[in-house]
Chain A
Amino acid sequence: MADAAHPKMELTAADAAAIEDARANAVEELLAPEAPHSNVVGVAAGVKWRNGEPTGDPAVIALVTHKVDKSELAEGDLIPTKIGTTRTDVLEIGFPMIERQQVQLPAAVNGAAVREEEQQMPAPQVPLFGAEALARRARPAEGGYSVGHFKITAGTIATCVYDLLAGAATGSQPKPGVGMPQRFYVLSNNHVLANVNAAMVGDPILQPGPFDGGTFPADLIARLSRFIPITLEPPTPRILHRNLVDAAVAEGQFHDLDREIYWGGYVRGWRRRANVAVGSIVQKTGRTTNFTTGRITAINATVDVGFGGGRIGRFQDQIITTNMSAGGDSGSLITTPDEVAVGLLFAGSSVATIANQIENVRSLLRVEVAEQIL
């Protein structure tokens, strides 16, 4: 997680002056109305980020509506790596108008005061929802909506689940159980619901997440029940890591939790890890990038993932897909196009998305995701 007080996030006045020429050139070059760069909506002075961490080096920042795979861009649309001698970085900000609209809304968007204000507003010409429609409060909440531990920013609800029932089995002969669930949970990542191992059982979980205006106690939807601890370097050398999942559940009330996925529909079943195949098309709904599809490019993958603050977690038995996510989509359920659960999304780069095998999530958390193995 980025720390707001991180000194390397800040651009000093001297550095800003030093790169001012490069910034002005970038405005000319990237925002030229006669030759617009795809998706570029602004230019700013800032610091270069690498591996999710600010480096402290001054950089010209190209603000884009969304990041696009280099291979999908025409040569003229690529952001140069340097302008003069100054490095560039690319910051995805969505559509600034809509984003700002949301920032101005008070936290309690359901409050009467807001409704009165809204009545005075002219009818919008275009729908105001868009880039972050799932960042709003919803009851019952569905898979795809914003959620978060009270000390984090925001992630996504995968779906809602319950404890394995009598007769259920994991391991080599998995099967669903039968009976009456006693508890119902929101499923998402450890780093979304348990603040990367730092949370206490019983901690408040907010919907929407704090980054989207969720506050305690008004937006409390659940309380943290259990999480699978993640081993990180430092302190543990990554060669010793045996992480399989970044997963946690938080118990809520049945009437607040809808296991349907916004846009995806009901999860018909879940797929065993051995049947998850390279080349398959998959889909997800998430808080930031909404509904997206991708293709599985690798399975049985070992991946080193940045957790912020210089921490790395090595994960085994992961699914890698083409890029289908962005920051805030952590926790999204990855399914087949006909809604069989395959993975739990937790990480990504500008070109790839990484997910845990749903079978590992089910057996480690001991929760039922759906009543059929498909």
Chain B
Amino acid sequence: MPSEIDDVLQRHAASLMALPNVVSVGVGELDGRPAIVVGVTEKVPSEELAPGERIPDELEGHEVDVQELGAPVIELPEEGLHG
């Protein structure tokens, strides 16, 4: 049974993934409550981003947590060693 936050994520996943530096979106936790987590290659101060490039603080009442995730690559020897 999908909970409401899954539906919210579903509605916004594609547009979040289209933002610069965003490599993942998912359902995680923030301060013990379910939250939308957005993984970015690196965090950029929001004043350096155009308004349309910023990740919102909340989506339909759910908090959004931005986490630095780096750049995920498949875990083969060369890949992982340099990734």
- Interface of A with B (CB < 8 Å)? 1-2, 49-52, 54, 89, 91-93, 152-155, 189, 191-192, 211, 238-239, 246, 274, 278-279, 288, 297-308, 314, 318, 320, 325-330, 345-354
* Chain A residues closer than 8 Å to B9, beta-carbon distance: 300
* Interface pair A318/B77, CB less than 8 Å apart: no
Is B75 located at the chain interface by the 8 A CB criterion?
yes
* Chain A residues closer than 8 Å to B50, beta-carbon distance: none
Query: Can you list 24 A-B pairs with a CB-CB distance of less than 8 A?
Result: A1-B79, A51-B83, A239-B18, A246-B74, A278-B28, A297-B29, A298-B24, A299-B26, A301-B37, A302-B24, A303-B23, A303-B24, A303-B39, A305-B74, A308-B76, A320-B26, A327-B78, A328-B80, A346-B74, A347-B74, A348-B83, A349-B83, A351-B68, A352-B70
Is B13 located at the chain interface by the 8 A CB criterion?
yes
Q: How far is the CA of A304 from the CA of B79 in the complex (A)?
A: 15
Q: How far is the CB of A355 from chain B (nearest CB, A)?
A: 10
* Interface pair B72/A352, CB less than 8 Å apart: yes
A89-B82, A326-B81 given. 14 additional CB < 8 A pairs?
Answer: A153-B76, A154-B77, A279-B29, A299-B26, A305-B72, A305-B73, A306-B73, A306-B74, A314-B17, A320-B39, A327-B79, A327-B81, A348-B83, A353-B75
Q: How far is the CB of A48 from chain B (nearest CB, A)?
A: 9
The verdict on A211 contacting B26 (CB below 8 Å), with A351-B69, A354-B72 known, is no
Q: How far is the CA of A350 from the CA of B81 in the complex (A)?
A: 9
* Interface pair A308/B73, CB less than 8 Å apart: yes
Q: Among the listed B18, B25, B78, B79, which residue makes an inter-chain contact with A301, where contact means beta carbons less than 8 Å apart?
A: B25
* Chain A residues closer than 8 Å to B55, beta-carbon distance: none
The verdict on A155 contacting B73 (CB below 8 Å), with A49-B82, A91-B82, A327-B83 known, is no
Residue tally, chain B, CB below 8 Å to A:
34
* Interface pair A304/B24, CB less than 8 Å apart: yes
* Interface pair B74/A349, CB less than 8 Å apart: no
* Interface pair B27/A298, CB less than 8 Å apart: yes
* Interface pair B79/A308, CB less than 8 Å apart: yes
Q: How far is the CA of A233 from the CA of B76 in the complex (A)?
A: 19
Q: How far is the CA of A279 from the CA of B39 in the complex (A)?
A: 17
* Chain A residues closer than 8 Å to B69, beta-carbon distance: 320, 349, 351-352
Q: How far is the CA of A220 from the CA of B31 in the complex (A)?
A: 50
Q: How far is the CA of A328 from the CA of B78 in the complex (A)?
A: 8
Q: How far is the CB of A277 from chain B (nearest CB, A)?
A: 10
B16-59 contacts to A, CB under 8 A, are 17-18, 23-29, 34, 37, 39
* Interface pair B76/A350, CB less than 8 Å apart: no
Q: How far is the CB of B16 from chain A (nearest CB, A)?
A: 8
* Interface pair A93/B81, CB less than 8 Å apart: yes
The verdict on A288 contacting B27 (CB below 8 Å), with A239-B14, A325-B75, A328-B75 known, is no
* Interface pair A49/B83, CB less than 8 Å apart: yes
Among A189, A307, A327: residue with most chain B CB under 10 A: A327
* Interface pair A330/B74, CB less than 8 Å apart: yes
* Interface pair A348/B26, CB less than 8 Å apart: no
Q: How far is the CA of A177 from the CA of B29 in the complex (A)?
A: 36
